[in-house]
Amino acid sequence: MLYAPDTAENAATIAARRALMSRKGVAVDEMNQRARLRREQASRLRRVRWPQLVLASALVGGIGTAWWGSQQQSQVVLLGGYAMAGIAVVALIARIARQPALSRRPLEHDYLPDEHLATADDIALLRRLAQADKEIEIAIAAWWRDANPIRKGDVRLALDVQRAKLG
């Protein structure tokens, strides 16, 4: 038999090694595009129209109450209608003005945890892992020359290989 597999190697080690070897670097522009799509989907989900509908109906109700109070010559009903309409207008303006803040926040908030850029501590950990294990060093050697940045998910792949080897 030409190849005798190591008996200590299990399925987890093979899967972790395969994931490390098949790592695909993702460009910053592509990652930003993915984050923008996630932001658009999240804003569609957050755009629940029922609060605006309730406030608009409160506005119409307040105007109607003020008109009815004017017709009945009742100052209490008239002022109550104006108060209800005023509160509804202020609430509608606050609701509408609050939503654009989602599109002004940095895109990093819309990245998945593994898509964030690796920090200096993560890079140092990756270097230590490469020094401790020749296989990890060979696998990540091309990452340093790649134009695509190293992300937290890439560091997690190297950690998974180390954990799988340790058992």
Contact 89, 55 (CB under 8 A): no
Q: Is the pLDDT of residue 160 over 70?
A: yes
- Decide: helix, strand or coil at residue 151: strand
57 and 28 housed in the same domain: no
Domain that holds residue 119: 9-33+112-167
Longest dimension (CA), the chain: 104
pLDDT value of position 98: 67
Structural domain contains residue 133: yes
Q: Is the pLDDT of residue 33 over 50?
A: yes
The angle, 0 to 180 degrees and rounded to 10, between the axes of the packed helices 120-132 and 134-145 is 140
Domain boundary among 76, 98, 120: 98
- Residue 93 is which amino acid? I
- Residue 107 is which amino acid? L
**DSSP character for 6?**
-
Structural domain contains residue 39: no
Q: pTM for the full model?
A: 0.56
| Tens-digit pLDDT profile for residues 103-140 | 566 666 777 888 888 889 999 999 998 898 888 888 88
Q: How confident is the model at residue 100 (pLDDT cuts 50, 70, 90)?
A: low
pLDDT value of position 3: 46
90 and 116 housed in the same domain: no
Q: Is the pLDDT of residue 50 over 80?
A: no
Domain boundary among 58, 73, 98: 98
117 and 162 housed in the same domain: yes
pLDDT value of position 80: 92
29 and 55 housed in the same domain: no
Structurally, how many domains does the chain consist of?
Answer: 2
Structural domain contains residue 18: yes
Q: How confident is the model at residue 99 (pLDDT cuts 50, 70, 90)?
A: low
